[in-house]
Amino acid sequence: MKQRLIVIGNGMVGHHFVEQWLANEASADYQLTVFGAERHSAYDRVHLSEYFAKDAEHLRLGDADFYQQSAIDLHLDEAVTSIDPDARKVTTDQGEYAYDKLVLATGSYPFVPPIPGGDQAHCLVYRTLDDLDAIQASAKDMKTGVVIGGGLLGLEAANALKSLGLDVHVVEFAPRLMPVQLDDEAGAMLRSKIESLGVSVHTDTATQQIIAGDAARMKMCFANETELETDLIVFSAGIRPQDALGREAGLTLGERGGIDVDQYCRTSNPDIYAIGECAVWNGRHFGLVAPGYTMARAAVSHLSADGRVHFQGADMSTKLKLLGVDVGSIGDAHGHTPGCQSYRYTDERTGVYRRLVVSEDGKRLLGAILIGDNQHYDPLLQLALNDMPLPEQPEGLILPASEGGLPAAGSAELPMTATICSCHNVSKGDICESMNDGAVSVADLKASTKAATGCGGCAAMLKTVLDAELEKRGVQVDHSLCAHFSHTRQELFHLIRVEQIKSFTELLHKHGSGGGCEICKPAVASMLASCWNEHVHTPELVPLQDTNDTFMANMQKDGTYSVVPRIPGGEITPKMLITLGEVGDKYKLYTKVTGGQRIDLFGATLDELPLIWEELIAAGFETGHAYGKSLRTVKSCVGSTWCRFGVKDSVGTAIDIENRYKGLRTPHKVKMAVSGCTRECAEAQSKDIGVIATENGWNLYVCGNGGMKPRHADLFATDLDDETLVRYIDRILMFYVYTADRLQRTSVWMENLDGGLDYLRQVVIDDSLGLAAELEARMQHVVDSYRCEWKEAVEDPDKRKRFRSFVNSDEPGRARIVQVVERGQLIPARELAVEEAS
């Protein structure tokens, strides 16, 4: 008869325990039952703030049927109310369940300070998906939100409120933000950067009571006799171990709470284990996911009578992005070790602060703090974790290259015991062993070792180790564009530009082989367009284009095409709006307003495209280049023209910028935005190029993006005048065109630059490569040679011949399109409708 193992808690750590348990041979002797107090199965709490932009399914850990397929008895929305260690049973509100072994993975709960009035409606916490649902509902149609707590979770909660469009305040009792991880200087730098993003910060501030507000729902009364009105409050003032079940069951607790465990995560009862945030080991709590995972592995090891895995504490270093600001803290960041020495580097202009804490003899790295730039985090962490010797001048590890900065130890110097992925305890040796078994890519290593599948912070280091080990084994790390060109995209672009190559055939003859493929042809077409800006229907360019570029429209699922005219800055006259409506109605097109302040028209057949564009061009529209890897939109708010908060003309600037860079072909699509004040209604910090007005000029943000892997843009320069703003954007975009890989977004491009943001500033602002004049001249050539591709196409009889739905017939394409009506518009027919129609 199988023994009965119960796990109480279905969070990240509880789920990891289940995964590790199923991989162990001992699991065959047990029937596993899991209780989760929430209605959701295990989900990723590390990326909880992404819930508002995506959904719960995106955060789910494992497949939807993971527990069912593994024959696990999963009880969701069923909280365990008590444990009887003597009878070996647990009780829920739905019944009693016997166990032979029990694992507590109950996690923690948010600490809510005992503030009078803090228990009223719209005083919320930030911990679960249900909490986020409550926050979202409370924020609807509201203006202001406050987070009490300026630590890691507090700033994450602030980011969530900001994403809901609220004016956000952070109230912190301590004299600085993130007091556990940061020193005074780092806290001040972080505060400055966060306030520049439009979040108000109140440090050294204690809330005495919360009463009814005058102009908002509530009023916060502070000990310093100031007040703040707000519509909702989120408490994020720390966490406490969820140890109530252990306390009532008579288990030994730590001095400050938490269930006391040994190195195997056994509690004072030998049949009960505790893992994650509910546990305390050697008097310490561990509030990160990686230590919880290690605890889970230790418990599995002991339960299976293996005993080889012990929990012996954990590194609490952290690397994350809070409100778009890089923050890193390693080891003894505060310099508490006797005799230690500190080195500091501060750049107030760019908002970068770095602190290095080294041993008294200067030979070992003890800790570090990074604000505004985490490119040094991974190599510094490895130096600290592996007790590796420092260079004679350790301060060089945090200095920019232009000021004598030194590269940290590379992956080749790391010992095999070096931990690359803390979440899943994957060492360099594990990676090498997986490569011995045939892994040759990051995807292979993720699948075989699970490295970089937890918080994801080690992905860059994983790739570095992989490439170094491949080269060490004599395997050439091939960065060729494809089999037909043994050059990178950057190298090919350089050859095209320097040798004045104007066609794919010429480039292939001089520097390639074979006939080309679907990888190199469109890539070379983009490079040729970036350099010479000739029409995509030029005879030698046509064979290179994919379908969308060939027909200058995006093909849809039913074979029709989209029509997307450019609306610079989102500004459009009523007469032009009427034209769009008339065209949409005439050709029975589905119309939709986009998030980029344009109007998309869907459902045009190939033969209708020139006819539609004739009418749009006559009304003053141009191609919106939605089909190309190029500038898409420059989003704007109404700025100082209409808004009472606007300080500059964001619409006018957005129009000028969009008209300047329209048609520029780039390695990946590019989006921009201009906000008229720091309230940031145009969402400029989620764009490749973001511009935000200040009282003194424009702040320029670079290399952000939305999509599958959202990234906040980094602050590049502040208080720029109009001329300098355009000059910097010219240089950044053209340098991106010069050096990026094929289909590489600006965010990934900058992260891969040797030196990252600092290096980009040196190239663009300081002209360290002497390229500034050339980059500006190349951009001016693109601007001067711009032509609306659709205008040329409809005016050229030869180009119009391309737009026939059927090669051997003039029959209209619409005759063979099957569509249905939904919400008053035509959409592609679903499969059932197609079958009935046929």
Annotated binding site for [4Fe-4S] cluster: 637, 643, 677, 681
DSSP 8-state code for residue 127: S
Dist CA 598 CA 660 (whole Å): 18
DSSP string across 328-367: EEEESTT--STT-EEEEEEETTTTEEEEEEE-TTS-SEEE
Report how far residue 99's alpha carbon sits from residue 718's, in angstroms, rounded to the nearest whole number: 62
Q: Can you tell me the distance from the alpha carbon of 290 to that of 332, in angstroms, rounded to the nearest whole number?
A: 18
Query: What value, to the nearest 5°, has the Cα angle with vertex 734 and ends 730 and 735?
Result: 115
DSSP state of 705: B
Beta carbons of 4 and 33 less than 8 angstroms apart: yes
Q: Which helix (H) or strand (E) holds 632?
A: strand 631-636
Q: Which residues fall within 8 angstroms of residue 657, CB to CB, at 6 or more apart?
A: 634, 672, 674, 689, 691, 726, 729
Nearest-angstrom CA–CA distance, 139 and 159: 13
Rama region for 681: left / alpha / beta (φ>0; ψ in -120 to 50; rest)? alpha
Q: How far apart are CA 206 and CA 111, in angstroms?
A: 15
Instruction: Give which of 600, 657, 606 is closest to 624, Cα–Cα.
Output: 600
- Residues making up the binding site for siroheme: 681
Q: Could you tell me which residues are beta bridge partners of residue 369? A: 329, 355
281 strand-pairing partners: 261, 284
Q: What's the CA gap between 536 and 547, in Å, rounded?
A: 12
Cα of 263 vs its chain's centroid, Å: 35
Residue 366 near residue 340 (C-beta atoms within 8 A) = yes
Point out the annotated binding site: 637, 643, 677, 681
Q: How far apart are CA 330 and CA 370, in angstroms?
A: 9
Name residues whose C-beta falls within 8 Å of residue 520's C-beta, 6 or more positions apart in sequence: 481, 482, 484, 485, 512
CA atoms of 711 and 704, how far apart (whole Å): 5
Phi, then psi, of 167 in degrees rounded to 5: -75, 120
